[in-house]
Amino acid sequence: MSGISSLWRTRYRHDAPQDLPDNPTLQLLMKHHSVRSYLPDELPAGALEAGIAAASSAATSSNLQAWSVVAVQDKETRKRLAELAGGQKHIEVAPVFLAWIVDLSRLERIAARRGLESEALDYEEMFLMGTLDTGIAAQNAVTAFESMGLGTVYIGGLRNHSEEVAQLLKLPPKTVAVVGLCVGRPEPSKQNGYKPRLSQKVVLHREVYDTTQEVDGIAEYDRADSAYQHEQGLPQRAWSETVAKRVESYRGLSGRHVMKAVLNRLGFSLK
């Protein structure tokens, strides 16, 4: 598959507008798909460092650079992380696991070395900012790895047991691993297709927020997602029903409804 219009059709399951710009970066971004089956081969030389350089090159709020990343290659540690993330086998198989860390501890140390307090770090705004910067950095790394022919999958399951993860990775107070990322060579015979996404009539609001096309757009997406599930030999389901059930109760949070208390214990006051 190539060409932006073809990629658009695959992503949205309807025709592309005329005159879309087309370039290798757009094509790479639109070819994203999560990879959960990996060859055990190591990453090519320099791939990890190039991926992190891409992460470091992302924009960062006030240039505070309030994130860190722990690269785990040790098999036993990956095995334990796979268990902590709810038994996700791909963490064990992929040769590298990156734990993306919201890191307010470095700013605290920098202030302390200058004999200053770091009161601002106790506010929820700083945590929100750090989380946003960490996610932006991680996504730059994803794109960089994909540009090298590597595959990735984010692991939000890492937050199922944030305190155990912090202990395992020796994280200091005021840090938390907000998301993980498996990185490796995709196993070619076992790859997913390109999962469709909500159309722009649902997600792109012009000038002001507008839901007039939402019901139609969601119905179309339910059909597109069902077709994708069918093609992949996965159980049929309506996406809107799945997500509605997911948000119906706190139980849909897989035990993470206690996150605020966990973050408090990890040193984030969240005032």
Ligand X SMILES: Cc1cc2nc3c(=O)[nH]c(=O)nc-3n(C[C@H](O)[C@H](O)[C@H](O)COP(=O)(O)O)c2cc1C
SS3 209: coil
Residue 105-144 contact track with ligand X, rule CB under 6 A, x = bound: ----------------------------------------
Complex with ligand X: residue 31 or 122, whichever CB lies closer: 31
- Among residues 108 and 184, whose Cβ is nearest to ligand X? 184
Closer Cβ to ligand X, 156 or 173, answer by number: 156
Stretch that binds ligand X, among 12-20, 41-49, 99-107, 154-162 (CB under 6 A): 154-162
Among 9, 13, 33, 201, binds ligand X (CB under 6 A): 33
* 56 touches ligand X by CB under 6 A: no
Q: Name residue 99's beta-bridge partners.
A: 70, 180
> What count of other Cβ atoms lies within 10 Å of the Cβ of residue 248?
9
Q: Which is nearer to ligand X, 123 or 154 (CB)?
A: 154
Task: Please report the DSSP string for the chain in residue order.
Answer: --SHHHHHHHHHSSPPPTT----HHHHHHHT------B--PPPPTTHHHHHHHHHHTS--GGG---EEEEEE--HHHHHHHHHHTTS-THHHHSSEEEEEEEE-HHHHHHHHHTT---GGGGSHHHHHHHHHHHHHHHHHHHHHHHHTT-EEEEEGGGGGGHHHHHHHTTPPTTEEEEEEEEEE-B-GGG---------HHHH--SSS---TTHHHHHHHHHHHHHHHHHHTTPPP--HHHHHHHHHHSGGGGTTGGGHHHHHHHTT----
Tokens representing residue 116 in the block: 């200053």
Q: Is 195 or 269 the residue whose CB approaches ligand X more closely? A: 195
Q: How far apart are CB 11 and ligand X at their closest, in Å?
A: 9
Site for ligand X in 209-268 (CB under 6 A): none
Q: How far is the CB of 188 from ligand X (least distance, A)?
A: 16
Q: Which is nearer to ligand X, 90 or 174 (CB)?
A: 90
Number of residues that bind ligand X (CB under 6 A): 13
Q: In the stretch 180-209, what mask flags binding to ligand X with x, by CB under 6 A?
A: ------------x--x--------------
The correct pick among 179, 181, 183, 224 for binding ligand X (CB under 6 A) is 179
For the segment 63-92, give every residue that binds ligand X (CB under 6 A).
88
Which residues are at the interface with ligand X (CB under 6 A)? 32-34, 36, 88, 153-157, 179, 192, 195
